[in-house]
A and B are shown apart, each in its own frame.
Chain A
Amino acid sequence: MLNIHCPNCGVTAEETEFHAHGEAHLTRFGPGASDDDFESYLFMRANPKGVHFERWRHQNGCGKWFHMARCTMTLEIFGTYSAQTTEPPQDILDRIRARRPDWNPHP
């Protein structure tokens, strides 16, 4: 069971109040993009064992979206942050590096 802090309303609650919506920080490809780019945007997802960035929604609470960095193996949560960003903020990255010194974001 994950205990999640919602950065929008400030509630810390267990995961049944939230819903996961898959990988975060995807680059969108729309009309005019190549078939390969569009296919990878639609279907291809990272499935790491370890650090992962995800989109979540506080669906039984304030209803807002946010991002979360967590470890898929240990379920440790490194932090949650605003959804209005295209990459993880530095403080989240610092926290991940402190806990996972050998983490490589682009293997």
Chain B
Amino acid sequence: MSDPVSALKNASDSTGIVQISEVGPAGMITLRGDLADKALIKAAVAAGGVNLPEQRRINTEGDRGMAWMSPDELLILCPYAEAKDRTADLAAAVAGQFALAVNVSDARVVFELKGPHARDVMAKLAPVDLHPSAFTPGMFRRTRLAQVAAALWMPQEDCFRIVCFRSVAQYVFDLLNVSAMPGSEVNYYG
């Protein structure tokens, strides 16, 4: 089997006001179905290794996690090497139900922003209230970054993780770099 290659080969940049890096390759599984169904929840928890997140939230534990994407969709995060088997197990567990499990690891890309100005850099790109009182670690938000769809969450304070489509990886990386240009601190969030 060939080695997985992430979209930007783990490009990183620390010349700006935050440190930007591509985190990958990362395992990602999309699960669609009835999120109130007990069998589906059980299968999702087994695949994700964390509890089912509440609406618009994400539960993480190291490399593992599960995010609430929409009323009928979850995103399961896991180490890349496990994604294939976990998808197969999950698909088998929900077989016969009106549900779908797909390995989307290679369709997407994950970025990480680190630094005390991370909120500033994100807030320039997304129409989301990122004030510390409004957006806290554990929340998960699907939105747009400039012209493309993306999802973001904070694993901890001063740190963002961003998921977007692989086809726009370079665009998002460049966006983040522009937004983090040296001297561009906004300091709105104190």
- The secondary structure that dominates the B interface is strand
- Interface residue A14 (Cβ < 8 Å from any Cβ of B): yes
The stretch of B41-49, B92-100, B136-144, B174-182 that contacts the partner chain? B136-144
User: Which of the listed residues A8, A10, A17 has the most CB atoms from chain B within 10 Å of its own CB?
Assistant: A17
5 A-B pairs in the complex with CB atoms less than 8 angstroms apart? A9-B56, A9-B142, A13-B128, A64-B70, A64-B71
Chain B interfacial positions (CB closer than 8 Å to A): 55-56, 69-71, 73, 127-128, 141-144, 149
Interface string of A45-71 (1 = CB under 8 A from B): 000000000000001111110000000
Q: Name the A residues within 8 Å of B143 (CB-CB).
A: 13, 17, 60-61
CA distance in complex: A38, B149 (Å): 36
CA distance in complex: A69, B71 (Å): 22
B184 to chain A, nearest CB (A): 22
CA distance in complex: A61, B141 (Å): 8
Q: Name the B residues within 8 Å of A60 (CB-CB).
A: 142-144, 149
B134 to chain A, nearest CB (A): 11
CA distance in complex: A63, B71 (Å): 10
CA distance in complex: A13, B144 (Å): 11
- Interface residue A11 (Cβ < 8 Å from any Cβ of B): yes
A18 to chain B, nearest CB (A): 10
Contact B70 A62 (CB under 8 A): yes
Contact B55 A9 (CB under 8 A): yes
Contact A8 B141 (CB under 8 A): no
CA distance in complex: A8, B35 (Å): 13
Closest to A13 in B: B127
Q: A62-B69, A62-B70 are in contact. Are A17 and B144 (CB under 8 A)?
A: yes
Q: A16-B144, A62-B69 are in contact. Are A10 and B55 (CB under 8 A)?
A: yes
